[in-house]
Amino acid sequence: MEIKEINSRYSELAESDCCLSCGGAIDYAKPQPGEVCIDLGSGRGTDVIRMAEIVGEYGFVYGIDVAEGMLVKARQNAEKFEIFNVRFIKSDLEKILLPDGSADLIISNCTLNHASDKQAVWNEVFRLLKTGGRFVISDIYAIEPIPEEYRSDPVAIAECWAGAVTRNEYFEHLANAGFSTIEIIEESAPYVKGKSNVASITIAGKKSNGCSCCH
Ligand SMILES: C[S@@+](CC[C@H](N)C(=O)[O-])C[C@H]1O[C@@H](n2cnc3c(N)ncnc32)[C@H](O)[C@@H]1O
If we measure between CA atoms, which residue out of 186, 179, 106, 96 comes closest to residue 141? Answer: 186
Ligand 1 atom with least separation from CA of 115: 19
Alpha helices, H only, 81-144: 118-128
pLDDT (tens digit per residue) in 191-203: 999 999 999 999 9
pLDDT, residue 158, reads 84
Instruction: Tell me how far the alpha carbon of residue 181 lies from the centroid of ligand 1, in angstroms.
Output: 26
Crossing angle between the packed helical segments 167-177 and 118-128, to the nearest 10 degrees:
40
Cα–Cα dist 198/196, whole Å: 6
pTM of the model: 0.90
Q: Identify the residue whose C-alpha is closest to ligand 1 atom 15.
A: 114
Domain ranges across the chain: 3-206
Length of the chain: 215
pLDDT of residue 154: 85
For residue 164, what is the DSSP state? P
**Is the CB of residue 25 less than 8 Å from the CB of residue 93?**
no
Maximum pairwise Cα distance, the chain:
53
Q: How far apart are CA 98 and CA 100, in angstroms?
A: 7
Supply the pLDDT for residue 1.
42
Assess whether the C-beta atom of 10 lies below 6 angstroms from ligand 1: yes
Average pLDDT of the chain?
89
- Which CATH superfamily, name and number, covers 3-206? Vaccinia Virus protein VP39 (3.40.50.150)
Q: What is the CA(45)–ligand 1 centre distance, in A?
A: 10
Q: What pLDDT was estimated at residue 10?
A: 59
User: Based on the number of CB atoms within 10 Å of its own CB, is 140 exposed (0-12), middle (13-18) or buried (19 or more)?
Assistant: buried
Q: Is 6 in the pocket of ligand 1 (CB under 6 A)?
A: yes
Listed residue (61, 49, 52) closest to 98, CA to CA: 61
Q: Which residue has the least CA distance to atom 1 on ligand 1?
A: 20
Q: Examine the pLDDT at 21 and tell me if it is beyond 90.
A: no
Task: Report whether pLDDT(73) > 50.
Answer: yes
Q: Is the CB of 26 under 6 A from ligand 1?
A: no
CA angle at residue 12 from 106 to 93, to 5 degrees?
A: 25
Average pLDDT on 129-148 reads 95
Whether the CB of 23 sits within 6 Å of ligand 1: no
- Residues 159-193: tens digit of each pLDDT: 888 999 999 999 999 999 999 989 999 999 999 99
Asked whether the beta carbons of 110 and 188 are under 8 A apart, the reply is no
Calpha distance 107→204 (Å, rounded): 9
63 close to ligand 1 (CB < 6 Angstrom)? no
- Residue 149 Cα to ligand 1 midpoint, Å, equals 22
pLDDT at 160: 86
* Ligand 1 pocket residue status of 69, Cβ below 6 Å: no
Backbone angles phi, psi at 205, to 5 degrees: -160, 170
The SS3 assignment for 125 reads: helix
